[in-house]
Chains A and B, each alone.
Chain A
Amino acid sequence: MEIVWDAFAQAALRLFGGDPATYTVIGLSLRVSGLSLLIATALGVPLGYLIGSRRFRGRGLVTAIVNTGMGLPPVVVGLMVYILISRSGPLSEAYVALVGEAMPRLLYTVPAMIIAQVMISTPIVTGVTLAAVGAVPAELRLQARSLGASHLQEAVLTIREARWGVMAAIAAGFGGIISEVGAVNMVGGNIEGKTRVMTTAIQLETGQGNFGLALGLGLILLGIAFVIMNAFTRVQHSGSRYER
């Protein structure tokens, strides 16, 4: 049990002791996962709406592919992104062929981490949105169309109707990436001050046997996730207040 108290002490020390390295790591985690989530939301919600609301051939197959994507192991995504952006990878070769000079390094940078996290979270946001939109009665959209709503208005109405599910989709997407270590470690490289985020810092401290500090950083990560999710839930509740 001693280690648990140590963890709390370490968490407090790092959080309130003004340790700049910890703030950098926290800021980077939020920036990488926040930006990734924005992109995943911008892609996943419209995509989920289209798949969930339209009837087309192969819809079952597309849904199955999206749902499979929700289970993609982050380390596999990391490996795929690595192979893509490596200096010996296809992207680099295409760049050299088109531009005639070497591609600026993307590996071990924040954008590389964001690419990987978008690939992890987009299927999650899409999949849960799809299920939520699919549960909205088709009659609602029919009625909207008959009252003269445009395609966009129809989409906004449907997504609004399915908002609890869509919010759950965004929350699930966030949970999936703020906590993952496999992909950011692979393409970020865990470079101190540049690509070290909460999860890779925890992994590093664990590897060095600093269990108390590792657990303390875990507590900070949990705390941050709680604050964000709590704010998110409050938004949901303020929505339901207007409804009455």
Chain B
Amino acid sequence: MIDRLRSAPVWRLTVLLLAGALAFSLAACAPQEKPLEEPVSEAPAVEVTDLILASTTSTQDSGLFGVLIPAFEEAYPQYKVNVIAKGTGEALELGQNKDADVLLVHAKAKEEQFVTDGYGTRRRDVMYNDFVIVGPSADPAGVEGLATAAEALTKISGAAAAFVSRGDESGTHTAEQKLWTKATITPSGEWYVSAGKGMGDVLTMSSELGAYTLTDRATYLSMRETLDLEILVEGDTALFNQYGVILVTDATNAEGALAFAEWITGEEAQAIIGGYGVDEFGEALFFPNADQQTTS
């Protein structure tokens, strides 16, 4: 009986299969990993260190990082930027726990609180984009062309027309809450849907539900073709969305963080930001304003 145990082929095959899968998966990864972690051969003297940039889903989803990060890495080959795209709330939380080196987020009041609390330093304005209220072209609440977001939200809640909120403590959600406060309305009821999702998911959801929502222009434009939603309200200064860069206190890669913050508020990056989106969407998605620092 003991002999039979030793010859059990099924186990040997299982072990072989598992080991084979392991060997394959290790081999499949090994060659691609090297260039990421080691300096490129032309510049062997430079030691590359990781820089953790915690930012928002809207900057990643809009594609801006796709041009911005390579430009930074070209200017500073000693840093490899790792983008962690989360909601502003989670990005700030990561910064508070020192799990990121530098933050690029958009909830000015929360950012200033973050600095006041000692979790970060040197908050600087980088750029802004704007929010728009989008909804179905049928526009059941009749908000199209209204001058202010507050008027539009008043009409939407008055008509109890469906409205999808991010509901995730993101920068966009924070902005939405400020607009409701401005309209002196506490949104609640069947018509007010708190989704707890990212911008792309919320736009899809609004499109499917025939609902209104507040979105940043960039994400809306990049997804416009998949959506049955129109821009109905825009241009209100209350809809401007300021992005700021903050250095995390006591960061692992403080030097890299400082270099990034200096670079993104400098001329080269500001020009890239101002030009992004013109080719693809016919209009700029972000407006650089690092040269006009303000405090709220």
Query: Does B36 have its Cβ within 8 Å of any Cβ on chain A?
Result: yes
Given contacts A87-B252, A102-B252, contact A27 B25 (CB under 8 A): yes
Contacts of B44 in A (CB 8 A): none
- Please tell me which one of the listed residues B21, B25, B36, B50 contacts residue A193 in the complex, with CB atoms under 8 A apart: B36
How many pairs of residues, A versus B, come closer than 8 Å at their CB atoms? Answer: 117
Instruction: Place the interface of chain B in its size category.
Output: 35 or more
Query: Does B57 have its Cβ within 8 Å of any Cβ on chain A?
Result: yes
Contacts of A163 in B (CB 8 A): 10-11
Q: How far is the CA of A147 from the CA of B32 in the complex (A)?
A: 54
- Please tell me which one of the listed residues B18, B97, B223 contacts residue A208 in the complex, with CB atoms under 8 A apart: B223
Query: Does B138 have its Cβ within 8 Å of any Cβ on chain A?
Result: no
Closest Cβ of chain A to B270, distance in Å, is 24
Q: How far is the CA of A111 from the CA of B11 in the complex (A)?
A: 28
A-side interface residues, number (CB < 8 Å)? 51
Contacts of A160 in B (CB 8 A): 5, 8, 10-11
Cβ of A242 and Cβ of B10 under 8 Å apart? yes
Cβ of A211 and Cβ of B226 under 8 Å apart? yes
Taking CB atoms and an 8 Å cut-off, the chain B residues in 1-32 that contact chain A are 1-2, 5, 8-11, 13-14, 17-18, 21-22, 24-26, 28-29, 32
Given contacts A27-B28, A89-B97, A108-B82, contact A209 B226 (CB under 8 A): yes
Which label, helix, strand, loop or mixed, suits the secondary structure of the B interface? helix
Closest Cβ of chain B to A18, distance in Å, is 13
Residues of A whose CB lies within 8 Å of any CB of B are: 20, 23-24, 26-28, 30-31, 34-35, 37-38, 41, 86-89, 102, 105, 107-108, 144, 147, 149, 153, 156-157, 160, 163, 167, 170, 189-194, 204, 206-209, 211, 228, 231-232, 235-236, 238-239, 242
Residues of B whose CB lies within 8 Å of any CB of A are: 1-2, 5, 8-11, 13-14, 17-18, 21-22, 24-26, 28-29, 32, 36, 50, 52, 57, 60-61, 63, 82-85, 96-99, 198-201, 203-204, 222-223, 225-227, 252
A108-B82, A209-B222 are known; give 16 further A-B pairs, CB within 8 A.
A28-B29, A30-B21, A31-B28, A38-B18, A87-B252, A88-B96, A105-B50, A156-B5, A191-B84, A207-B199, A209-B225, A209-B227, A211-B226, A238-B9, A238-B10, A239-B8
